[in-house]
Structure 1
Amino acid sequence: MSITQQYLLDAYRAQQLGRPGPPAPGAHDWQVVREWRDHRQFRAVIAERPAHGRLRRALGRWLRPGRRATG
């Protein structure tokens, strides 16, 4: 069963029981992404690593191996 079919079934059941319908699939995706990013930054701080700019620094080291990273 696809996500859309499950959503339609849940919406139909909610309507039959007089309850509010479920949120549409994907309605909270950006909230989940923000929470994941915040958690990743929190874990970096707890591990005493920089919380911002890690990917850019790593790519810079990979693209310019002879240059030393500062910071």
Structure 2
Amino acid sequence: MSVTQQYLFDTYRAQHHGEPAPPAPGTHDWQVVRELREYRRFRAVVAGRPARGRLRAALGRWLNGRPHASC
């Protein structure tokens, strides 16, 4: 069963039981991405690593071939 078929089935069932319709697939995707990003930043801070700019600093070290002073 595809995601669309499952959504239509759940909507039909909710309508017949007098419940609110479920959110459409993909409605909250960006919210989940933002929460994941915030969670990863939080874990970095708790672990004592910089929360921002780690990827850019790593790419800069790799491309330039020299060590980068960390904060």
Which residues of structure 1 form unaligned runs of 5+?
Answer: none
Tell me the number of residue pairs that the alignment of Structure 1 and Structure 2 aligns. Answer: 70
RMSD of equivalent CA atoms? 0.9
The alignment status of 1:61 with 2:61, answered yes or no, reads yes
How much identity, in percent, do the aligned residues show?
69
Deviations 1:40-67 (A, max 9, x none): 00000011000000000001111110x3
CA distance in 2 between counterparts of 1:57 and 1:11 reads 47
Kindly report structure 1 stretches of 4+ aligned residues shifted beyond 4 Å: none
TM value normalised by structure 2: 0.92
Which residues of structure 2 form unaligned runs of 5+?
Answer: none
